[in-house]
């Protein structure tokens, strides 16, 4: 049973999850919603504490900061590509 536990136990889930505001599902893709497939931007997602979040207030601020920076960079790359 020790080995089974070692292989299957997940110490903590993802520290944050992204909820697609339009459909309310948790999305695992930053640029498109993994639930409904729609493209999503910074205003379309909401950072929520995931199963691995120890302290929601602190993780929420970190999640928001990471999400904001990550999406800003991703969208900057996308818009740069589209302007070619």
Q: In the complex, which residues of this chain contact Zn ion (CB under 5 A)?
A: 20, 23, 33, 35-36
CB of 41 to Zn ion, least distance (A): 12
Q: Residue 35 or residue 74: which is nearer to Zn ion going by CB? A: 35
Residue least distant from Zn ion (Cβ): 33
Cα–Cα distances (Å) from 45 to 12, 27, 37, 81, in that order, read 22, 9, 13, 22
Q: Residue 29 or residue 55: which is nearer to Zn ion going by CB? A: 29
83 burial class (0-12, 13-18, 19+ CB within 10 angstroms)? Answer: exposed
């Amino acid at each position: 049973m020790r080995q089974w536990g070692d292989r299957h136990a997940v110490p903590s889930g993802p520290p944050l999850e992204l909820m697609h505001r339009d459909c309310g599902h948790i999305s695992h893709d930053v640029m498109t919603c993994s639930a409904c497939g729609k493209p999503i931007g910074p205003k379309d997602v909401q950072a929520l504490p995931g199963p691995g979040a120890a302290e929601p207030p602190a993780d929420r601020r970190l999640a928001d900061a990471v999400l904001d920076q990550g999406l800003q960079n991703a969208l900057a790359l996308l818009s740069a590509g589209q302007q070619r």
